[in-house]
């Protein structure tokens, strides 16, 4: 499901790896635990040199937030996508009951899930989403393990750069401003990007815009850590990794003026690359 982002990063010369969390992809059959998931990210960062920008979507976003808090020495930055609602939400018990019910179906809900994916995504994205299989059998474990996690406290625990990226129509953006504020409370430089027309699976729903946000985050993380210069989204354009259309550019979250108005409106509009300031 990260294929197009990996292609865009490769076109810009940015080394990247996509990993499977416990119970997912090549690790199907393992029980999902939050400790195990954070450990998987920790081990991947170690293998990549010990420090990295970590990008997570939905469940991966919550895991990436927790990894940054537990292993700040490994964090060159964080892209937390589609995870701007606390996991202790009052609707969690209802989701847990629904997940347990669906897991008892003969196909564990695979047919329903496949239909919903085909309705929500274009054919290419749906194929990418399905390539590693759907880990539906771990949903109740995921909901149980994430219940005690305090993502807001975790975001404020350290100061590496944070990008909060959401699709405009994502049902998981209910506390977007609180997540931004928590990261700022820890002293982190924070950027907020809301991708027009996109929904919860923003990396698949708007892969070009999401890839640009990741490339810009990689460039900013490299600058903040004093590492080698990363070219950002422009180099991927030249390498045909992303296109100029469906562009998104995030702005710093400041305490006043135009940027504060943007955050209050909880959106950063799409801006063609050639018109960026």
**Token pair 């490994």 in the structure block, residue:** 74
How distant is the alpha carbon of residue 150 from its chain centre?
17
Other CB atoms within a 10 A radius of the CB of residue 106 amount to 7
Identify the DSSP state of 27: G
What local confidence, expressed as pLDDT, does residue 108 receive? 65
Strand partners, 80: 56, 164
**Token pair 């006043």 in the structure block, residue:** 256
Indicate whether 85 pLDDT > 80. yes
Q: What are phi and psi of 185, to 5 degrees?
A: -65, -25
What local confidence, expressed as pLDDT, does residue 222 receive? 87
DSSP E strand stretches across 127-277: 162-167, 190-195, 251-252
Looking at the domain assignment, is residue 208 inside a domain? Answer: yes
Looking at the domain assignment, is residue 142 inside a domain? Answer: no
What local confidence, expressed as pLDDT, does residue 132 receive? 78
Indicate whether 1 pLDDT > 60. yes
Looking at the domain assignment, is residue 116 inside a domain? Answer: no
Looking at the domain assignment, is residue 271 inside a domain? Answer: yes
Q: What is the dihedral of CA 256, 259, 263, 264, to 10 degrees?
A: 50
Structure tokens at 17: 């790896």
Looking at the domain assignment, is residue 94 inside a domain? Answer: no
Range from 30-44, 195-209, 217-231, 256-270 carrying the lowest mean pLDDT: 256-270
Looking at the domain assignment, is residue 132 inside a domain? Answer: no
Indicate whether 67 pLDDT > 70. yes
Indicate whether 241 pLDDT > 60. no
Q: Total domain count for the chain?
A: 1
Sign of CA dihedral 144, 25, 194, 113: negative
pLDDT digits (tens, 9 = 90+) for 125-157: 888 888 877 777 888 899 889 989 999 999 999
Looking at the domain assignment, is residue 199 inside a domain? Answer: yes
Looking at the domain assignment, is residue 197 inside a domain? Answer: yes
Nearest Cα residue to 82 out of 120, 108, 119: 120
Mean pLDDT of 178-186: 96
User: What percent of the chain has a predicted confidence (pLDDT) above 70?
Assistant: 73
**252 conformational bin, left if phi > 0, alpha if psi -120 to 50, beta if neither:** beta
Identify the band that residue 254 occupies on the pLDDT scale cut at 50, 70 and 90. Answer: very low
* CA pair distance 190, 187, nearest whole angstrom: 9
Q: What is the domain-level CATH number for residue 60? A: 3.40.50.1820
Domain around 239:
3-88+149-275
């Amino acid at each position: 499901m990260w294929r197009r982002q990996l292609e865009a990063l490769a076109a810009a010369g940015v080394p990247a790896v996509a990993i499977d969390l416990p119970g997912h992809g090549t690790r199907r059959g393992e029980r999902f635990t939050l400790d195990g998931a954070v450990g998987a990210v920790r081990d991947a960062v170690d293998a990549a040199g010990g420090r990295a920008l970590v990008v997570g979507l939905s469940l991966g976003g919550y895991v990436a937030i927790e990894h940054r808090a537990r292993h700040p020495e490994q964090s060159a930055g964080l892209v937390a996508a589609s995870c701007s609602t606390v996991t202790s939400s009052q609707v969690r018990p209802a989701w847990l009951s629904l997940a347990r019910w669906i897991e008892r179906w003969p196909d564990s809900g695979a047919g329903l899930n496949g239909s919903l994916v085909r309705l929500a995504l274009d054919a290419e994205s749906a194929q990418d989403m399905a390539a590693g299989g759907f880990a539906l059998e771990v949903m109740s474990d995921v909901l149980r393990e994430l219940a005690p996690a305090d993502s807001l406290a975790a975001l404020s625990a350290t100061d590496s750069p944070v990008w909060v990226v959401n699709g405009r129509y994502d049902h998981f953006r209910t506390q977007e401003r609180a997540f931004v504020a928590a990261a700022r409370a820890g002293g982190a430089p924070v950027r907020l990007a809301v991708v027009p027309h996109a929904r919860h699976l923003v990396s698949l729903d708007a892969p070009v815009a999401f890839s640009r946000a990741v490339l810009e985050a990689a460039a900013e993380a490299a600058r903040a850590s004093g590492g080698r210069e990363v070219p950002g989204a422009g180099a991927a354009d030249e390498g045909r990794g992303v296109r100029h259309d469906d562009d998104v550019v995030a702005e710093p979250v400041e305490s006043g003026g135009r940027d504060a108005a943007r955050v209050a409106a909880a959106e950063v509009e799409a801006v063609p690359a050639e018109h960026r300031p």
